[in-house]
């Protein structure tokens, strides 16, 4: 009996070892919890390609949308922790969501094996091209005067555009009508088509359109201007110094990866981000590439814990004053 158990245990261990040694043997799914074409999708596609090369298997993007990104992240968090399902989370799904969803089925700090930060994405306040205001102060005056006649786009409760949008409204006293999308890719299309008035979104989604003049940017919510949008003033320069917020995208796996599999994913993301073509693409879009101290799973776990602690009180009070 004892011998049979020992043999069973040995063969199970051998199987785990073999799986890790040979991982990956088939394509890996990266769940993107928002619509194709938006910032999370863009960052995912930028890193998936060099990660595929590093892993020797295709990293395939699957867009699973809904509920501000929490539908896709919930589903991915429940997948087998074998390295064949990973996900691109962000400041909303892994920072803001717990403040706004009572029954959230995952805990950003406990339900995942963090792989690493993929990109920093400053927030930009953007409006449709013909919005009748020259600068941020004028924009806020129009928002306050027109109240719910103004439409603000966002990607669902708890998303980056929603949480940073609600924060913007609570700081400025704006009370627009909120219009929900499955991601800010489709929201941006509607902004360009004059179907909605404004949104606050991740720079990597909006930089090309701002540069091309198809939408307007009133300010970037960072301490310094972005080299990719040198004409866009910071919120401080434009008169709203309290509104400083930067989002991020990061790769996570369901909790419980075998150590070797985890190490391979971490190394693949690291290799991907060191690829000059990847860096160039992220920087061109106004994103930032993780510095040494920000890269990897330990830094990402700490970031998630900081972000949940930071966003929970801020968002709860912003939503109370500005539901």
Q: Point out which residues bind ligand ASP (CB under 6 A).
A: 34-35, 38-40, 92, 155, 159-161, 183-185, 201-202
- Closest separation between CB of residue 121 and ligand ASP, Å? 8
Angle 183-274-59 from CA coordinates, rounded to 5°:
50
Cβ burial of 242 (10 Å; 0-12, 13-18, 19+) is exposed
- Closest separation between CB of residue 128 and ligand ASP, Å? 17
CA dihedral 19, 23, 26, 29 (to 10 degrees): 110
How far apart, in Å, are the Cα atoms of 138 and each of 135, 234, 237, 277?
5, 15, 14, 39
- Closest separation between CB of residue 263 and ligand ASP, Å? 28
Which CB sits closer to ligand ASP, 24 or 190?
A: 190
Which CB sits closer to ligand ASP, 35 or 285?
A: 35
Which residue is nearest to ligand ASP, using beta carbons? 38
Which CB sits closer to ligand ASP, 185 or 290?
A: 185
Give the separation between CA 207 and CA 227, rounded to whole angstroms. 11
CA dihedral 108, 111, 116, 118 (to 10 degrees): -50
Which CB sits closer to ligand ASP, 48 or 266?
A: 48
Which CB sits closer to ligand ASP, 160 or 295?
A: 160
Give the separation between CA 53 and CA 51, rounded to whole angstroms. 5
193 sits in the region (left: phi over 0; alpha: psi -120 to 50; else beta) called alpha
Give the separation between CA 164 and CA 170, rounded to whole angstroms. 10
Which CB sits closer to ligand ASP, 39 or 116?
A: 39
- Closest separation between CB of residue 272 and ligand ASP, Å? 19
């Amino acid at each position: 009996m004892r011998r049979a158990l020992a043999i069973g245990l040995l063969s199970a261990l051998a199987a785990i070892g073999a799986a890790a040694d040979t991982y990956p043997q088939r394509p890996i799914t990266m769940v993107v919890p928002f619509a194709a074409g938006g910032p999370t999708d863009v960052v995912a596609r930028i890193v998936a390609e060099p990660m595929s090369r590093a892993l020797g298997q295709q990293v395939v993007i699957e867009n699973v949308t809904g509920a501000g990104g929490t539908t896709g992240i919930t589903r991915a968090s429940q997948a087998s922790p074998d390295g064949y399902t990973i996900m691109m989370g962000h400041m909303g799904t892994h920072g803001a969501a717990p403040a706004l969803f009572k029954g959230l089925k995952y805990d950003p700090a406990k339900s995942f094996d963090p792989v690493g930060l993929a990109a920093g994405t400053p927030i930009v306040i953007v409006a449709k091209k013909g919005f009748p205001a020259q600068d941020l102060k004028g924009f806020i005056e129009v928002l306050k005067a027109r109240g719910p006649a103004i439409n603000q786009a966002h990607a669902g409760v708890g998303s980056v555009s929603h949480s940073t949008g609600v924060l913007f409204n609570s700081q400025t006293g704006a009370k627009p009508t909120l219009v929900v999308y499955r991601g800010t890719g489709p929201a941006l299309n509607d902004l360009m088509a004059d179907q909605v008035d404004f949104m606050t979104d991740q720079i990597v989604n909006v930089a090309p359109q701002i540069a091309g003049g198809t939408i307007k940017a009133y300010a970037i919510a960072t301490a310094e201007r972005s080299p990719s949008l040198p004409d866009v003033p910071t919120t401080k320069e434009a008169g709203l110094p309290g509104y400083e917020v930067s989002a991020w995208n990061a790769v996570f796996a369901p909790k419980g990866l075998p150590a070797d599999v985890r190490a391979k994913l971490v190394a693949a993301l690291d290799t991907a981000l060191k690829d000059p073509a990847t860096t160039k693409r992220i920087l061109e879009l106004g994103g930032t590439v993780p510095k040494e101290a920000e890269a990897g799973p330990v830094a990402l776990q700490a970031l998630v814990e900081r972000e949940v602690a930071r966003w929970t009180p801020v968002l709860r009070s912003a939503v109370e004053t500005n539901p």
